[in-house]
Chain A
Amino acid sequence: MSAGDTIFALSSGQPPAAIGIIRISGPKASAALQALSGSLPEARCARLAKLTDPISKQLLDTALILWFPGPNSASGEDLAEIHCHGGRAVVRAIETSLENMDGLRQAEPGEFTRRAFTHGRMDLAEAEGLSDLLFAETELQRRSAIQAAGGALSRKVEDWQSAILRLSAMVEAELDFSDEDDVTPAQLEMVQSSAADLAEDMNTILDRPRAEKLREGVRVVLGGPPNSGKSTLLNALVEREAAIVSAIAGTTRDVIEVPIAIKGIPFLFIDTAGIRDEGAEEIERIGIDRARAQFDMADIILWLGPEGEGPDSLKLVEIASRQDHPEYQPKSPTVLSVSPLAGPGMDELVALLVERAKEIVPRGDEISVNKRQADHLAEAQVSLDQIPEVQDYLIIAEQLRLARAALDALTGRASTEDMLDGLFGKFCIGK
């Protein structure tokens, strides 16, 4: 299997659907489209065509076809699109015809994106955004992925890169050409304060929730002693019988994860084994250890046990559950009281979770970074942040170089020549 093959895939959602979009990318895209439709449409113009199987000559569908010659296509290669009827049988039939053609094969997951990236159609940050977009299930995920794929992050990084290049050029002019008089001396304070501003700007984005949260969901862990009603509350929140409920203490032993979107925000509800120090047999004890580990990874802990006895954490929310139960144990008046079985308090609880989650997931309309991007960005941020304390131009230049390298790693581009371009464009230097 080689990356030089022509690949195809259904690019729209799983059939059945109103229409299905099949994309073909690679050197044989035009041959494949012609084999099905008889002739190529004009580049970038939709045309209605009868599609027939080249071998059986059977009519497959009447569809819209489009032709994008490379390199100005989404993948950077020759690209064809077939907008067919979205029934399972139609899509399957067209895919089979394509599969039977020489040099064509089904695309691997993400392969279109990877090709777009290798052909320089998008940088790493954009490619990541697109892959998130394809996975997007909730409205918030979708909006945020569009942000990244549209290049909002890349544009931001580009702005930073050119700002740092400008600073580098000033400092390098000072280092390589100050003896040739024609450079205006770089003003140390100016460089320092600009670096600090950039670091601050990066911090704003670093302080925001990570993009992965959107894909992974807000982790809500239910905790409390056995029989405190954790599983019952979970079932009520996710509106189905996801966990077994019984009056026997120690029913839940393993960790149960249930993903669900509420008001467009992805949540991951996690039920755990009830925590008790005595009386637990071996399997239950393992479950208890796992529960404790879940508390560490949680974004929100709903604590159903006795007030104040939960893990000491800012993420903890006290809940008084089983309001209608004979053994109901009320907590302080400020604590939310719910009855998952009877219903009271549940709306308030959901509202509380959504409120908290908004602080934890990125807002759809703001740039957010994933973990990989955050690591590089943090590296750049730290390098810039140290500059105000440095007096030595040589070290400032080094810190700027490290910041540039970190941002280059983020987008996958590279740069000493760019810096020299900046240098010579800006100053009149040389003998």
Chain B
Amino acid sequence: MNRDFDLIVVGGGHAGCEAAAVAARMGVRTALVSFTKDSIGAMSCNPAIGGLGKGHLVREVDAFDGLIGRAADAAAIHYRMLNLSKGAAVQGPRVQADRKLYKAAIHRMLDAQDNLSIVEGEVASLIFDGQTVSGITLADESQITAAVVILATGTFLNGKLFQGEETVAGGRTGEASAISLGQQIRDAGLPIARLKTGTPPRIDGRTIDWATLPEQPSDDDDWTMSPMSSRRDVPQIFCAVSRTSAATHDIIRDNLDRSPLFSGAIDAQGPRYCPSIEDKIHRFADRDSHQVFLEPEGLDTNLVYPNGISTSLPADVQEAFVRTMDGLSKAEIIVPGYAVEYDHIDPRALDRSLKVRDLDGLYCAGQINGTTGYEEAAAQGLIAGIGAACAIQRKDAPQLDRGTSYMAVMIDDLVLQGVTEPYRMLTARAEYRLRLRADNATTRLSPVAASIGCLGDERRRWFDDRQSRRARVLEELETVYSCEAIADQGMEVRRDGTKQSLFDWLRFPNISIAALKDLGLSVDDLDTGLLAEVEEDARYAPYLQRQESELKDLRANEQIRLGDDLDYAAIAGLSNEMVERLNGARPETLAAASRVRGITPAALAAILVHARRREAKNLAA
């Protein structure tokens, strides 16, 4: 076997797979190392992909020809467009995936990928050459060398499982490696903190009284996660909606002292947006019922995932409260729920390509950086993979900013603010949300992807074709029509002499391209997704323009580089707290500094003056 690569990716989760795949697509000789081949592409928890904010991430990774969107389509047994009644910017595509099909799809794509080798093994340690990482040592003491290593090992660092009064350290293979690797990372001076997350019990679908529960069918539409998946191939199934009852809440309340969350056994911070059921009942005591989606985990399994009752109560309590829920009176639990506490790296130690700032050749991606979720992990994998590949190929990594992608919003939040709870994407985090829609991810990002060579041949052809179709549509929308012409098409508009381009007419909510076909537009043979995207652009045009000017200011400040070695303590006028935050975040630009929490405009002015003065001094020297 080959023992030398350009890049080694450690961990075959969502982050590791995307990182390895994108680097290989860019022509980098890559090794993907994971415990076992079988663990590659596994979904550790909820078999759902996408959703609000997360669906955006999937589409963005897909715009770089990533894996997650295509694999989700290959495995999707239930499609739902969340927020369908609201504006396109907050609509979130979500699928439930069959675990087996998902993993198989990932394996298929990785196997077909050139430049990519899969290595089975436990990574025991990194090989250091001073402050530079130059490879890995496996548990069998064999070594593999590479210029760059990406760590995408998920929650492996010091994991601890909690179920009621029981705790199990780590609870999975490779514990020894995790400890030595974890120790090495601490020794290298990387800041480590602790977080927790949880998972609900899995229920035997055959013991659920489906007939008594409201059904939630898959969407009728034929949209897919990736435009490369032309249709929905997998049979679609129903989900059902159950609810907790007063009796459920009573049982949980009576046993709160047996939950490690309340007994004090876990003190790491869990995600506020994904609270355990005991948390919900404790904090929102006034609610007498919570909705729980029952989501089948696959086509040929009886496991059902009850979405909404993540818990770390003892197994007997779990069984008791589950049986007080609608349709679950005879339910059998196959795997009880549990909570996990784990170490993560303070992501403020990373730069915007997710490289560890103080070490050469080491990147981190995924849950190891304090995030949660497959999509968040996949997006980081993609960014780290691109960063590593660009470094290896000695070219500039593309600069994505908060105005162009959710991925950049996430990275910016992580490397500047750090995390206080597992980080999950929300549309509310993106201030330029109106521009960052799931439906325009390709338009926003594929040109960047194409420019750095990470689109495969098939995608490249599809994208070129789409670009020319889009140009045709836009050109056609330039045509000026009078209000009479529009009104004659049956649209309700005032006959006040207005003449404007079709694009401007589309600003009226009651006017659509489809309804204007009879004007002789040659657009009807084009795909509906493209038209919907353009329509949405037109609809929100005034807001998009205003955001554009906001972004201009932002980007101007983004040009003012602060440098990695700025000594904030030496800048007079900054409080100790500010110095601490700035030293933690080490913002690369003035714009980034302005986003660090607690930094006032006056402080920013002081930083700017200092940076300018230093620049002048450096020039003079």
| B307 close to A (CB within 8 Å) | yes
Known contacts A118-B602, A175-B427, A398-B434: A430-B290 contact under CB 8 Å: no
Apart from A176-B428, A416-B428: 12 A-B pairs, beta carbons within 8 A: A119-B573, A120-B575, A175-B52, A182-B280, A394-B89, A397-B428, A412-B600, A414-B599, A420-B428, A429-B273, A430-B271, A431-B307
Known contacts A175-B86, A395-B543: A416-B429 contact under CB 8 Å: yes
- Closest CB-CB distance, B261 to chain A, in whole Å? 15
| A401 close to B (CB within 8 Å) | yes
- Closest CB-CB distance, A146 to chain B, in whole Å? 22
Partner of B283, one of A115, A119, A412, A428: A428
Partner of B575, one of A114, A119, A172, A429: A119
| A178 close to B (CB within 8 Å) | yes
- Closest CB-CB distance, B535 to chain A, in whole Å? 14
| A417 close to B (CB within 8 Å) | yes
Partner of A414, one of B427, B434, B573, B597: B597
User: A114: which B residues are within 8 A, CB to CB?
Assistant: 573, 602
Partner of A3, one of B290, B434, B606: B606
Known contacts A117-B600, A119-B573, A178-B83: A430-B428 contact under CB 8 Å: no
Partner of A393, one of B87, B291, B307, B606: B87
| B298 close to A (CB within 8 Å) | no
Look across to chain A and name the residue whose beta carbon is closest to the beta carbon of B276.
Answer: A430
User: A412: which B residues are within 8 A, CB to CB?
Assistant: 600-602
| A179 close to B (CB within 8 Å) | yes
Q: Helix, strand, loop or mixed for chain A's interface?
A: helix
26 A-B interface contacts by CB (under 8 A): A3-B573, A4-B570, A118-B606, A120-B575, A120-B598, A172-B428, A175-B86, A176-B52, A176-B90, A177-B273, A182-B284, A394-B89, A394-B433, A397-B428, A412-B602, A413-B600, A416-B428, A416-B429, A417-B417, A424-B272, A428-B280, A428-B284, A430-B274, A430-B275, A431-B46, A431-B310
A420 with B602: CB separation less than 8 A:
no
A182 with B274: CB separation less than 8 A:
no
Known contacts A412-B602, A429-B273, A430-B272: A179-B89 contact under CB 8 Å: no
User: B89: which A residues are within 8 A, CB to CB?
Assistant: 394
CA distance A156 to B572 in the complex (A): 31
B272 with A419: CB separation less than 8 A:
no
| A423 close to B (CB within 8 Å) | yes
CA distance A226 to B609 in the complex (A): 53
CA distance A177 to B427 in the complex (A): 10
User: B577: which A residues are within 8 A, CB to CB?
Assistant: 120
B602 with A117: CB separation less than 8 A:
yes
Look across to chain A and name the residue whose beta carbon is closest to the beta carbon of B86.
Answer: A393
Known contacts A118-B600, A179-B83, A420-B426: A431-B572 contact under CB 8 Å: no
User: A41: which B residues are within 8 A, CB to CB?
Assistant: none
| B308 close to A (CB within 8 Å) | yes
User: A401: which B residues are within 8 A, CB to CB?
Assistant: 431
CA distance A180 to B51 in the complex (A): 11
User: A119: which B residues are within 8 A, CB to CB?
Assistant: 573, 575
Look across to chain A and name the residue whose beta carbon is closest to the beta carbon of B421.
Answer: A424
| B181 close to A (CB within 8 Å) | no
Residue among B90, B283, B310 with the most chain A CB within 10 A? Answer: B90
CA distance A182 to B86 in the complex (A): 18
Tell me the residues in window 73-93 of chain B with beta carbons closer than 8 Å to chain A beta carbons.
82-83, 86-87, 89-90
User: A153: which B residues are within 8 A, CB to CB?
Assistant: none
- Closest CB-CB distance, A160 to chain B, in whole Å? 19
- Closest CB-CB distance, B577 to chain A, in whole Å? 8
- Closest CB-CB distance, A185 to chain B, in whole Å? 11
Tell me the residues in window 588-621 of chain B with beta carbons closer than 8 Å to chain A beta carbons.
594-595, 597-603, 606
User: B606: which A residues are within 8 A, CB to CB?
Assistant: 3, 118
| A392 close to B (CB within 8 Å) | yes
| A124 close to B (CB within 8 Å) | yes
Tell me the residues in window 387-431 of chain A with beta carbons closer than 8 Å to chain B beta carbons.
392-395, 397-398, 401, 412-414, 416-417, 419-420, 423-424, 428-431
CA distance A375 to B429 in the complex (A): 27
Chain A residues in the interface with B (C-beta under 8 A): 2-5, 71, 76, 114-115, 117-120, 123-124, 172, 174-182, 392-395, 397-398, 401, 412-414, 416-417, 419-420, 423-424, 428-431
Look across to chain B and name the residue whose beta carbon is closest to the beta carbon of A124.
Answer: B601
Chain B residues in the interface with A (C-beta under 8 A): 46, 52-53, 82-83, 86-87, 89-90, 271-275, 280, 283-284, 287, 290-291, 307-308, 310, 417, 426-429, 431, 433-434, 540, 543, 570, 572-577, 594-595, 597-603, 606
Look across to chain A and name the residue whose beta carbon is closest to the beta carbon of B424.
Answer: A430
A423 with B428: CB separation less than 8 A:
yes
A175 with B287: CB separation less than 8 A:
no
User: A178: which B residues are within 8 A, CB to CB?
Assistant: 83
CA distance A416 to B430 in the complex (A): 9
CA distance A177 to B598 in the complex (A): 28
- Closest CB-CB distance, A77 to chain B, in whole Å? 10
Residue among B46, B87, B540 with the most chain A CB within 10 A? Answer: B87
CA distance A419 to B430 in the complex (A): 12
B572 with A2: CB separation less than 8 A:
yes
B274 with A431: CB separation less than 8 A:
yes
CA distance A299 to B433 in the complex (A): 45
Minimum-distance CB pairs A-B, first 7: A4-B572, A3-B572, A394-B87, A428-B284, A181-B291, A118-B573, A430-B273
B52 with A179: CB separation less than 8 A:
yes
A424 with B273: CB separation less than 8 A:
yes
User: A397: which B residues are within 8 A, CB to CB?
Assistant: 428, 433
User: B572: which A residues are within 8 A, CB to CB?
Assistant: 2-5
Look across to chain B and name the residue whose beta carbon is closest to the beta carbon of A424.
Answer: B272
A392 with B87: CB separation less than 8 A:
yes
User: B601: which A residues are within 8 A, CB to CB?
Assistant: 124, 412
CA distance A130 to B147 in the complex (A): 58
CA distance A105 to B263 in the complex (A): 58
User: B600: which A residues are within 8 A, CB to CB?
Assistant: 117-118, 120, 123-124, 412-413
B574 with A118: CB separation less than 8 A:
yes
A398 with B543: CB separation less than 8 A:
yes
A182 with B290: CB separation less than 8 A:
yes
- Closest CB-CB distance, B304 to chain A, in whole Å? 15
CA distance A23 to B310 in the complex (A): 59
Residue among A5, A180, A417 with the most chain B CB within 10 A? Answer: A180
CA distance A398 to B86 in the complex (A): 14
Look across to chain A and name the residue whose beta carbon is closest to the beta carbon of B425.
Answer: A176
User: B283: which A residues are within 8 A, CB to CB?
Assistant: 428
- Closest CB-CB distance, B172 to chain A, in whole Å? 23
Partner of B308, one of A175, A177, A419, A431: A431
A118 with B575: CB separation less than 8 A:
yes
A419 with B428: CB separation less than 8 A:
yes
CA distance A431 to B273 in the complex (A): 7
- Closest CB-CB distance, A330 to chain B, in whole Å? 55
Look across to chain A and name the residue whose beta carbon is closest to the beta carbon of B307.
Answer: A431
- Closest CB-CB distance, B432 to chain A, in whole Å? 10
Look across to chain B and name the residue whose beta carbon is closest to the beta carbon of A120.
Answer: B575
CA distance A431 to B52 in the complex (A): 13
Partner of A394, one of B46, B90, B431: B90
- Closest CB-CB distance, B290 to chain A, in whole Å? 6
User: A420: which B residues are within 8 A, CB to CB?
Assistant: 426, 428-429
CA distance A123 to B86 in the complex (A): 38
CA distance A100 to B426 in the complex (A): 58
User: B291: which A residues are within 8 A, CB to CB?
Assistant: 180-182
